[in-house]
Chain A
Amino acid sequence: MNAPMLHIARPITLWALHFIAIYALISGACAPRALFDVEIMRAVSAILTLAFVLVTLAWLIIGLRTLRRLADDAPERPLAVAVAWIAAISLLALLANLWPVAFLSGCTG
């Protein structure tokens, strides 16, 4: 697929990868195997989230700039709106993924 499909799919795909990563990290720390300590999980989650948020933020800014350059009746505008909004929603969703890890003291609350 070329540009429009890619731009639409990439921020929310990044969210999906982030969700899987956070779920795997929580499972790694909190399941009976206890692969690693909660603090390690917390640190890795924070680093991952920061990286993912920065990338998504960059896509959001690019999306908004593209939108600003387009005329109101430009045929590409509807999908440019979609690209920017998907990036914005994905950004919020990334932060939502992080909050349990950031605010809960341990696996059991």
Chain B
Amino acid sequence: MTDTPFRAAPGPEPRRDAYDVAPKGEPEKDFEAIWATPQGLKVLSSVSHRVVGKRFLITGFIFFLIAGVLALLVRLQLIVPENTFLDSETYNQVFTMHGTIMMFLFAIPMLEGFAVYLIPLMIGARDLVFPRLGAFGYYCYLFGGVIVLSSFLFDAAPAGGWFMYVPLSTSQYTEGLSADFWLIGITLAEIASVTAAVEIIAAILCSRAPGMSLAKMPILMWYLLVTAFVIAVGFPPLIIGSILLEAERLLGLPFFDVAAGGDPLLWQHLFWLFGHPEVYIIFLPAAGMVATMLPVFVGKPLFGYGFAVAAVVTMGFLSFGLWAHHMFATGLPIMSLSLFSAASTMVAIPTGVQIFCFIATLTLGRPRLTVPMYFILGFLFIFVLGGLTGVMLAAVPFNFQAHDSYFVVAHLHYVLIGGFVFPMFAALYYWVPHFTGRMMSETLGKWAFWLMFAGFNLAFFMMHLTGLRGMPRRIATYPEGLGWDRLNMLSTIGAFILAAGVAVFIWDFFRHRHAGPEAGRNPWGAATLEWLYQPVTPGYNFRAIPEIRSREPLWDQPELTEGPAADIDGALRSCPDHRRETMGCDPVTGEPIQILRLPHPTWFPLISAFGLAVLFAATLASLYWLSAVGAVIALAGFTGWVWEPSDSAVVRDIGIRDGLELPVNVVDRRSHLHVGTVATILIMFALFASLLFAGLYLWNTQPDFARATERPARIFALLAFGFSVVMFALSWMNGRAAIRRAASAMIVVLNLLLAIIALAMGATLGLALLPVDPWSTAFAAVGWALGAFVAAHLAVVLYWSLFNGVRKITGAQLVGQGLPDLLLGAFGKATATMGVVTAIAFLFAGAPQ
């Protein structure tokens, strides 16, 4: 039974007339048909996590192959000294695109793919809680990736390195569109990452099977949960940095221009505030997949579940204290360097705890040496070596010596290929039977492993030596006789052996689709729920959602494995409303609190993402009228997306625990929508904090320019402060009215007042900024960026308030169906808080000129 007493959620009174309907129900379809994937072209409207997850995985793998080919071109160029295979400009483009694609278009989307595909299956849900958001994220990623790749077609591929350092990437030193392709394409693709963060947080916290408390979650869920929080806080600095740099290129705003009090190091800070957590964003899910697979092949539960949770949580936090170790050679004060050096060394402790959990698990039994297990052992070997060179590089004196040498290239590939690519191949071999219903070849798999393992170590171990012999990174060629010739030759041979291993995997993948033996039920003897059904699992995941009493349900709950999976007792077997539904739980205890109604296939995610892609691409091409068209399409898509009758204020028997009745889409702070909104607000604040950091950084490092900046109009700043406080109060009242099921008329009035106050706040912030010339100094430009950021959020509040009001007036939202207002209240409070901070900043920043 569960480890905490059941607490029923405060549900609404059952109502039997206007409410007791299931809008968008499909009474003509049976349960299987409701969950079926649309056929033909309509498959593009599918929002199923299984479809979207596989799209992420396939697209990510294609990008991996493209970036791999670019890596081979780099190695071919370096195979001999004085090589002329690639000219230096092409070489710069090739290594820049290799890094960019690997980091942004392969690694993160692959982890998103695994997360999107596996989370519902492992926690006992029928889909993610925001399926449309997942589909929207995928299309943004696809369109963003296409924009970045298309730069090759225009001979405008970015050539400034995957980190786009300024001033090299400013218009002064990079003319043309190459840097814009990077900034605009990657920013569009990053939307997928932040939407995935919201999706993962809300899904794991709010849709677990009955009884699955935090302590009973599969360990992978902890890794993904922490990763999602790291994404939510880690990506915003890069998004802000990219927007500032694009604004400098497009509008001439001097954020990084030294002559106007800007600072190129500001870009490095913003980039690496993202860049170092990024390594953990890539590594943690991979380690979580290892922690999931390892116990299966040892036949025992993971050693030290609690230790692993402690390790992943602390790694997630500590990863934010390491960013400046990428900037040791930039002239920061030694005391700052030492702080980051200490934090960089410190992160070895939780990493070590985690690795010891894996090693201890290995000692619990006699491991089966399957192909995934080979890759896991390869991961342990390679990643530990990469970790050790990481500790070396965390020491400032050694870092000064090894800086910008091939030693760093070797280290980062040991960490990233060891920490992500090897676990990813283990995961692919392990879960491919779940995708396709067939097993891949053990023999070919072992060939693939040994080729990849040997090739990798030959290629990259040598780079430690070339680095220690002084070979700098990113040089297009080198003179002979410096002691680098043979090492480079060996590295290139190793790279091609590694590529041969990948080719064997691809061959095996296509071969197994028709020749691989059928995977039976639970082919690896796993303990987690995704293997409950025989692959390929039906589209609904679980015919009835079982109660969970163990962290290893398939090992400890015989009732789950004794009979056909479709006959297992559980929640929501009946489907009276002919809607897609899954269970909603309390975020901590895992006790059921609501029924989640999920969307059916829809075109709106595709339309919205297409609109955004048009907006971004047209901006790149300086076709601003087309940008406006794209914005209108996106807005129409979002509006259609959220304009649908509310499902709340209905209760249903969920079919377990003697007729337990639960509300549909409960109006409660534990609702998945509220948790998702809170996660969104976390991202908003991370974006806002990045801008504040930029302002404070320039204020502190360029005091003369800060003093030379005109002060905003204080009277309007003061008014904006007052309006922000009023907005906070109104937002709070909106939320309270929603929870207390206030009369529609009253909430409509509150909506209108909120809209008016948002307008007033925007106007006063704008008037406060009027005396400030954004082109005068970088500090002034950041002030305008801060104002524009808050104004964008005010525009959302304005639109959302009016939208909610119209929905109530038209009867799309009835009394007691106040979820949209609860969410608007939370968003409004967050916006008002940012308004307060901005107004205070405007009151004190700059000086009268």
Nearest-neighbor residue (CB-CB) of B396 within chain A: A109
Q: How far is it, in angstroms, between the C-alpha of A16 and the C-alpha of B345 when the chains are bound?
A: 16
Contact of B3 among A1, A8, A75 (CB under 8 A): A75
On whether the beta carbons of A86 and B313 are closer than 8 Å, the reply is: yes
Q: Which residues of B contact A100 (CB under 8 A)?
A: 335, 338-339, 341-342
Picked from A8, A76, A109, the residue with its CB within 8 Å of the CB of B334 is A109
Q: Which residues of the other chain, B, contact A99 by a CB distance below 8 angstroms? A: 338, 342
- Does B163 belong to the interface (CB within 8 Å)? no
Query: Are A16 and B320 closer than 8 Å at their CB atoms?
Result: yes
> Min CB distance, B417 to chain A, in Å?
27
- Residue A44 is within 8 A (CB to CB) of chain B in the complex: no
B703:A104 contact, CB within 8 angstroms:
no
Most buried by B among A76, A85, A92, A101: A85
Q: How far is the CA of A35 from the CA of B339 in the complex (A)?
A: 19
Known: A33-B700, A76-B215. A5 touches B306 (CB 8 A): no
- The answer to whether A97 and B310 touch (CB under 8 A), given A33-B700, A78-B215, is no
Q: Is B213 an interface position by the 8 A CB rule? A: yes
B336 touches A23 (CB 8 A): yes
A-chain residues with CB within 8 Å of residue B321 when the two chains form the complex: 16, 19, 97
Q: Does B638 contact A (CB under 8 A)?
A: no
Q: Is A26's CB under 8 angstroms from B333's CB?
A: yes
Distance between Cα atoms of A13 and B317 in the complex (Å): 8
Partner of A12, one of B314, B336, B703: B314
Mask of B272-311 contacts with A, CB within 8 angstroms, 1/0: 0000000000000000000000000000000011110111
A63-87 residues at the B interface, CB under 8 angstroms: 75-86
- Choice from B216, B309, B342, B699 contacting A8 with Cβ under 8 Å: B309
B349 surroundings in chain A (CB, below 8 A):
89, 92
Task: Give B329-368 as 1s and 0s: 1 = Cβ < 8 Å from A's Cβ atoms.
Answer: 0000111101101110110011001000000000000000
Is the pair A77, B313 in contact by a Cβ cutoff of 8 Å?
A: no
A31 proximal to B (CB < 8 A): yes
Expressed in whole angstroms, the Cα–Cα distance for A1 and B334 within the complex equals 40
Q: Which residues of chain A come closer than 8 Å to B588, judged between CB atoms? A: 1-5
Q: Does A96 contact B (CB under 8 A)?
A: yes
Of A8, A83, A96, A107, chain B has the most CB atoms within 10 Å of the CB of A96
B443 interfacial contact with A, CB 8 Å: no
Instruction: Judge if B702 is at the interface, Cβ distance under 8 Å.
Output: yes
Q: Mark A1-27, 1 if CB is under 8 A from B, else 0.
A: 111110011001101100100110011
Closest to A67 in B: B306
Complex interface residues of chain B between 443 and 490 (CB less than 8 A to chain A): none
CB-CB under 8 A from B503, the residues of chain A are: none
B214 at the A/B interface (Cβ < 8 Å)? yes
B313 and A31 contacting across the interface, CB-CB below 8 Å: no
A30 in contact (CB, < 8 A): yes
Taking CB atoms, residues of chain A closer than 8 Å to B587 are 1, 5
Q: A4-B588, A82-B307, A86-B314 are in contact. Are A32 and B342 (CB under 8 A)?
A: no
B318 contacts chain A at the CB level, 8 A cutoff = yes
- Beyond A85-B307, A107-B334, whether A75 also contacts B215 by CB under 8 A is yes
Q: Give the chain B neighbours of A12 by CB distance below 8 A.
A: 313-314, 317-318
Residue B701 at the chain A interface, CB threshold 8 Å: yes
Q: A2-B588, A82-B306 are in contact. Are A97 and B701 (CB under 8 A)?
A: no
A97: contacting residue among B333, B339, B700, CB under 8 A: B339
* A residues less than 8 Å from B702 (CB atoms): 32
Residues 201-230 of B contacting A (Cβ, < 8 Å):
213-216
Query: Distance (Å) between the CB of B225 and the closest chain A CB?
Result: 10
Residues of A within 8 Å of B701, CB to CB, are 31-33
Find chain A residues with CB under 8 A from B335 CB. Answer: 26, 30, 100-101, 104, 106-109
Partner of B305, one of A3, A76, A78, A97: A78
Complex alpha-carbon distance, A43 and B52, angstroms: 54
> Taking each of A4, A8, A89, which has the highest tally of chain B beta carbons within 10 Å of its own beta carbon?
A89
Chain A residues with CB under 8 Å of B333's CB are: 26, 30-31, 107-108
Bound Cα distance from A25 to B574, whole angstroms: 61
Q: Are B342 and A97 in contact (CB under 8 A)?
A: yes
A18 to B766, CA, bound (A): 35
**From residue B196, how far is it (CB to closest CB) to chain A in Å?**
21
B353 touching A32, Cβ below 8 Å: no
Known: A8-B309, A27-B700, A82-B306. A96 touches B336 (CB 8 A): no
Smallest CB separation, B322 vs chain A (Å): 10
Asked whether A90 is an interface residue with its Cβ less than 8 Å from the other chain, the reply is yes
Q: Which residues of A contact B314 (CB under 8 A)?
A: 12, 86, 89-90, 93
**Contact at B306–A4, with CB atoms within 8 Å?**
no
User: Are the C-beta atoms of B700 and A89 separated by less than 8 Å?
Assistant: no
Chain A residues within 8 Å of B338, by CB: 99-100, 104
Distance in angstroms between the alpha carbons of A23 and B338 in the assembled complex: 11
**Is B703's CB under 8 angstroms from A86's CB?**
no
- Closest Cβ of chain A to B219, distance in Å, is 10
Q: In this complex, which of B3, B314, B587, B702 has the most chain A Cβ atoms within 10 angstroms of its Cβ? A: B314
Contact A22 B339 (CB under 8 A): yes
Instruction: Give chain B residues whose Cβ lies under 8 Å from the Cβ of A109.
Output: 334-335
Contact with A along B697-731 (1 / 0, CB 8 A): 00111110000000000000000000000000000
State whether A108 and B700 are in contact (beta carbons under 8 Å apart), knowing that A5-B588, A85-B353, A93-B346 are contacts in the complex.
no
Q: Compute how far the CA of A73 lies from the CA of B550 in the bound complex, rounded to whole angstroms.
A: 12
User: From B353, which residue of chain A is reached at the shortest CB distance?
Assistant: A85
CB <8 Å contact, A108 and B214: no
Instruction: Name the residue of chain A whose CB is nearest to the CB of B551.
Output: A78
Spell out B's residues near A (CB within 8 Å). Answer: 3, 213-216, 304-307, 309-311, 313-314, 317-318, 320-321, 333-336, 338-339, 341-343, 345-346, 349-350, 353, 587-588, 699-703
Beyond A78-B306, A81-B310, A89-B349, list 7 extra A-B contacts (CB 8 Å). Answer: A1-B587, A19-B320, A28-B700, A77-B306, A81-B307, A85-B307, A97-B339
Q: List 6 A-B contacts (CB under 8 A).
A: A5-B588, A12-B317, A79-B215, A82-B313, A93-B314, A100-B335
Which 10 residue pairs spanning A and B have beta carbons closest together?
Answer: A81-B306, A100-B338, A85-B310, A75-B3, A30-B333, A82-B309, A109-B334, A78-B306, A96-B342, A107-B333
